[in-house]
Copies of this chain bind each other. A is one copy, B any other.
Amino acid sequence: MNQDYIKADEWSIIEEGFDLKRVKSSESLFSIGNGAMGQRANFEETYSGDTFQGSYIAGVYYPDKTRVGWWKNGYPEYFAKVLNAPNWIGIKVLINGVELDLATCKKVSAFKRELNMKEGCYRRSFDAVLSNNAMVHVDVTRFLSLDLDEVGAIAFKVTVENMDAEVSFFPFLDSGITNEDSNWDDKFWNTTKVSSSRNRAFIEAHTMKTNFRTCTFMQANLDYNGESISGSLEEQHDNFVSLKFSKKAKKGEQLSLTKFGGYTVSRNHPENELVHAANEVLDKASNFGFTKLMEKQKESWAKIWDMSDIVIQGDIKAQQGIRFNIFQLNQTYLGTDSRLNIGPKGFTGEKYGGSTYWDTEAYCIPFYMATKDEMVARKLLKYRYNHLEKAIENAKKLGFVNGAALYPMVTMNGEECHNEWEITFEEIHRNGAIAFAIYNYYRYTGDYSYIPEMGLEVLIGIARFWHQRANFSGYRNKFVILGVTGPNEYENNVNNNWYTNYLAQWCIHFTLEQLSKVKEGYQKDYNRIIGKTNLTPSECESWKKVADNIYFPFSEEHGVYLQQDGFLDKDLVKVADLDKTERPINQKWSWDRILRSPYIKQADVLQGFYFFEENFTLKELENHFDFYEPFTVHESSLSPCVHSIQAAKLGRMEQAYTFYLRTSRLDLDDYNKEVEEGLHITSMAGTWMSIVEGFGGMRVINDMLSFEPRIPKQWASYSFKVNFRNRILKVKVSQDEIHIELKGDEELVILINGKEYKLALNTTTII
Contact = CB atoms under 8 A, between A and B. Distances in A.
A239 B633 CA distance: 56
A570 interface: yes
A595 B571 CA distance: 25
A473 interface: yes
Given A69-B419, A398-B592, A592-B425, A475 B569 contact: yes
- Interface of chain A, helix or strand or loop or mixed? loop
A596 B481 CA distance: 9
A426 interface: yes
B421 A591 contact: yes
Interface in A625-641: none
A420 interface: yes
B397 A590 contact: yes
Contacts of A482: 566, 569-570, 595-596
Interface string A555-599: 001000000011011111000000000000011111111111000
A592 B421 contact: yes
Contact of A492 (B476, B493, B496, B596): B493
Interface stretch (A70-78, A270-278, A331-339, A677-685): A70-78
Copies of this polypeptide in the complex: 2
Interface centre among A474, A592, A595 (most CB of B within 10 A): A592
Nearest to A398: B590
Interface string A41-72: 00000000000000000000000001111101
A735 interface: no
A114 B475 CA distance: 56
Contacts of A471: 569-571, 596
A629 to B, nearest CB: 19
A475 to B, nearest CB: 4
A118 B72 CA distance: 41
Given A70-B420, A592-B74, A595-B483, A565 B565 contact: yes
A192 B127 CA distance: 55
Nearest to A66: B69
Interface in A374-403: 397-399
Contacts of A595: 482-483, 493
A472 interface: yes
A471 to B, nearest CB: 4
A482 B594 CA distance: 11
Interface in A467-489: 471-476, 480, 482-483
A258 interface: no
B425 A591 contact: yes
Given A475-B569, A476-B569, A566-B482, A73 B590 contact: yes
Contact of A67 (B67, B420, B483, B571): B67
Contacts of A426: 592
A216 interface: no
A690 interface: no
Interface in A444-476: 471-476
Nearest to A573: B471
A719 interface: no
A495 interface: yes
A420 B397 CA distance: 23
A586 B71 CA distance: 11
A455 to B, nearest CB: 27
Nearest to A572: B474
Given A589-B73, A590-B397, A591-B72, A480 B420 contact: no
A484 to B, nearest CB: 9
Nearest to A590: B74
A66 B68 CA distance: 10
Interface in A325-377: none
Interface string A478-521: 00101100000000111110000000000000000000000000
A569 B495 contact: yes
Contacts of A74: 590-592
A73 B494 CA distance: 20
Contacts of A399: 589-590, 593
25 contacts: A67-B67, A67-B68, A67-B69, A69-B419, A72-B591, A73-B587, A73-B588, A397-B590, A398-B590, A399-B589, A399-B593, A421-B591, A421-B592, A471-B569, A471-B570, A472-B571, A473-B568, A475-B568, A475-B569, A480-B569, A482-B595, A492-B493, A493-B493, A493-B494, A495-B569
Closest 5 CB pairs of A and B: A74-B590, A425-B592, A475-B568, A483-B596, A72-B591
Given A74-B590, A482-B566, 18 more contacts: A66-B69, A68-B68, A69-B69, A69-B420, A70-B420, A73-B590, A399-B590, A421-B592, A425-B592, A475-B557, A475-B568, A480-B569, A482-B570, A482-B596, A483-B595, A492-B492, A495-B566, A496-B569
